Structure 1
Amino acid sequence: MASRVQRLLVIGSLYLVANIGYSFFFLTLGTILLDGGASLQTVALINLLGGIYFGRFLVAPVVDRYGPRRLGHYRGWLLLTQLALVGLLLGLTTLDPIGDLPVLLVLLGLVLVVSVLHDTALNGFAVRLLRESDRGIGNGIIVGSGSASMLIGSGGALLGYAQIGWTGTVLALAAVFLLPLTVLARIAEPPAEQATGARRAAPWRAIAGYFRQPRAAIWTLVVIPLFAMSEWLATAPQPAMLLGAGWDVSQIAVTQSITTVVQLGAVIVTGLAISRYGRRRSGLVAGLLGTASVAGLLPLAAGHGPPLMTTIILTCVAIAYGAKLTWISTVSMDRARKSSASTDYTIPMSIEGIYVAVASSAGLGVAGLVGFGWLIAIAMGFAILGAILAPVWYRRNHIL
């Protein structure tokens, strides 16, 4: 049996590749294609293909039900999909992004499909691997490593493209996947619980089965959005607010980098706090921090953005969201049954991502209609509701 430190290191290394395929497709490929002369319409149509990734919770029941048992159920999925991703990425190195665009899109579509299977299986593996006492810090590591993987697939890949070109960048991304492969080769998957009715059910019924669990619908469709969306709603027009306050692009870029780096550390601290002080108190603190930090954006919304104070406020917003996401991830893992681990953990986390996308789009629309100040006021209302609802709901329905 692996030690606690080994389990946490395994989780960190595995989630370091979790979002590379998604972030490369959505955040990097378009820039590369535009640089090569592709039209905005072409890039917009290509981004629609990326919608494949948002349906990952739809395949989670399949991952739960079927798997190569000799390798370990979820471990087998991870080994096979990581090898497939390395092979597909190596295939991309021979292509010209513009001249071979149709073939490129076919291969990248396959990368997304395999990434969906990989990331879904990874969620199931994490549920089985992490013990109850590890889940706080474990989910802090999951969120932090997942954010780092986004940076690797987006900014890191784009910087690599500027320095070493297409082939070198894709080879570097393929090399990153070798780290979790070596880790998986050295660890066994914990045994599964005895199959339940939900596990034996047809895959397409498992999603409905998730929502039939006690409190699952309220948790996923009410508590999560109210708790998580205020920061994204408030910061949707962040670049426009900063530009309106007299900031230049370089200042915005530096501030975004600072907030991202601080957030990576904050999620680890949040995980430690959850493990030490418990879910309810940690959720309450995250909610209060979110409310205060969103309120702190009111001067910026009014056009007043002194660099130091504004950077501090934006950093607090990033910390609050990272803390909330870590809390949501931990409670979702608490609720997951090991016999349907991928489904039970992937559904709430996928839907949280959908809520974030909706909140970001809605925030821009609302800001255009009623102005930045009213948008922040609305976001504050959601933040207050979430700060009250989440810890109260947990106290009444706690799993642990």
Structure 2
Amino acid sequence: MSQAGDAAAPVSYKGWAGIRRAFGTPSAFTMLVFGFGSGLPFLLIASMTLSTRLRDVGLDLGSIGLISLASFFYLLKFLWAPLIDRYAFPLTAFLGRRRSWLLFSQLLVAASLGALALSRPEMGVTTLVIWVLVGSFAGATQDSVVDAYRIEIAPATAQGALAATYTLGYRIGLIVGGAGALYLAEFQGWTGAYLWMAALMLVPVVTTLVAREPAIPEATVVRRIDFFGAFWQPFTSFFSTNGVLLGLALLAFVGLFKFPDQVIGVMAGPFYLDSGYSKADIATVSKLYGIWTGIVGAFLGGICVAAFGFRRMLFVAAIGVALSNLAFLLMAYNPGQIWAFYLAISADNLFQGFAGTVLVAFMSSLTDRNFTATQYALLVSLANLPGKFAGGVSGFLVEATSYATFFVLSALTVVPTLLLLAWLWQRIRDPVREPGVMGGGG
């Protein structure tokens, strides 16, 4: 499916024509399916579908927030990403460095979803937490390999378009793992819903088996470093490229960029239920209509990055994500009103999709292709870490104040991000504006 020569071809991926061209490459379909495989388990293991399930069986908000921390492997994948960059997975090494890890992680995701299907959180959460840990480790590993695969088959100038391509598959996975699982839970129960999700992981598994392994760049040094060097060289490379001060500032900016959106993620499902919406309503509006709105936002982000570069788009996205949180006040003050649900989800998912593509393009431009999985995993982990820990205690904040106060406070958390972006403005290198200057082997 994917062609090793994609990255070497001197092809422009800017604008509408570039996006159509990206869709037309053999690697685009591979990324579409890999995106589906990454998106499918996320809500089931680390976000709204799981929290909705726990609320549905009677757990309190504080417990739901704490249980969400069991998916922390999604935030720590950079710790074992050096092994993914350096070695093939032993049992499937015949598939190559990237595909061997993909097959292992995809099968483990399927197994964890099957085990979660059989768990009974209303009888005790210990077994469920264990399998959430396993599933988040497997899902995080899969994401690391998919991200490295995407970066290695396209130059930096193509990442905006391919991020949109990948996002399409990821969002379809979210639709299935969100709306699909909720519909199934409404009519077949949570056990049946999770078993169907486990079976659908066979789609990316088959794709991994028939896809081609991406070529290793000629300049790569991965094979020439020892075991310990595999862990420290990706980090020293990042700071030698950017300098210590700029490197730390870039990492802090990535960590804060989507904080306003992520801090409300765990509470979204319980908020919808507490506002009087049924699981079918949530599936239709949030996980069906909302996901497609997010896809529109993602493609809009890809087009804008191709046309204007990501520096100005980072500002637009940061403001949009923060302001979209205030749209939930419509639901807080109009509980049970379907029009308020649609308006809030329209604003939230449109800017989520837009910001996601912009951030992916930006982070991809920062990576050294000798250490693709490690550096990108570090950036993705930082992009989710602050919001994840804040989400873990968000239930206590809601119970101490109100949902409306919570949404206002979450929007105000954009202020540090904007201050940091102002300092970085003249220091951010943009491949669209400054071709050839990006560090990271792009």
Normalised by the length of structure 2, the TM-score is: 0.70
Aligned length: 395
Q: Determine the structure 2 residue equivalent to 1:195.
A: 221
Indicate the residue corresponding to 2:73 in structure 1: 52
1:394 match: secondary structure:
coil
Structure 1 residues 287-319: Cα deviation after superposition (integer angstroms, max 9, x where no partner): 56557x469769969979999799657634542
| 1:236-251 matches, cutoff 5 A | 249=277
Evaluate the alpha carbon distance shift between residue 88 and residue 280 of structure 1 in structure 2; reply closer, same or farther with a 3 A threshold: closer
Please tell me whether residue 271 in structure 1 is matched to residue 294 in structure 2: no
Worse overlay, 388-397 or 151-160: 388-397
**How far apart, in 2, do the equivalents of 1:165 and 1:238 lie?**
21
Letter in 2 for 1:124: A
Cα distance, 1:329 vs structure 2: 1.0
Aligned-residue offset at 1:389: 5.1
- TM (normalized to structure 1)? 0.76
Aligned match of 1:65: 86
1:9 counterpart residue number: 29
Which amino acid in 2 is paired with 1:179?
A: V
Identity %: 19
Contact 1:298 1:373 in 2 (8 A): yes
Q: Does structure 1 residue 82 correspond to structure 2 residue 116?
A: no
The SS at the match of 1:50 is helix
| Aligned-residue offset at 1:322 | 2.6
Tell whether 2:235 aligns with 1:212: no
Structure 1: stretches of 5+ with no match in the other structure: none
CA drift at 1:267: 0.4
Cα distance in 2, alignment partners of residues 390 and 91 from structure 1: 46
Using the TM superposition, give the Cα deviation of residue 154 of structure 1 relative to its aligned residue in structure 2, in angstroms: 3.8
1:61 deviation in Å? Answer: 1.3
Shift of 1:135: 0.8
Cα distance in 1 for residues equivalent to 2:189 and 2:271: 34
What is the distance in 2 between the residues matched to 1:42 and 1:381? 30
| Counterpart residue type for residue 112 of structure 1 | S
Change (3 A) 1:34 1:132: closer
Structure 1 residue 127: Cα displacement: 1.6
CA distance in 1, matches of 2:324, 2:67: 34
Which moves more between the two structures, 349-358 or 365-374?
365-374
**CA deviation map 1:241-277 (0-9, x unaligned):** 999xxx8647x95764554431222102211332344
* TM-aligned CA distance change 1:148 to 1:103, over 3 Å: same
1:326 aligns with 2:350: no
Q: 2:149 corresponds to which letter in structure 1?
A: F
Q: Please provide the CA RMSD for this pair.
A: 4.6
Deviation at 1:103, TM superposition (A): 5.6
The answer to whether the 8 A contact 1:58-1:207 is kept is: no
Match of 1:183 among 203, 207, 210: 207
Letter in 2 for 1:86: A
Which moved further from structure 2: 208-217 or 282-291? 282-291
Q: CA deviation at 1:54?
A: 2.5
Contact 1:19 1:146 in 2 (8 A): yes
Distance 1:67 1:310, change over 3 A: closer
1:230 CA displacement: 4.5
Cα distance between partner residues in 2 of 1:102 and 1:299: 35
Of 345-354 and 379-388, more deviation after overlay is shown by 379-388
Deviation for aligned residue 1:343: 0.8
Matches within 5 A, 1:234-383: 249=277, 253=282, 256=286, 258-287=289-318, 289=320, 293=323, 315-358=346-389, 365=397, 368=401, 375=409, 378-379=412-413, 381-382=415-416
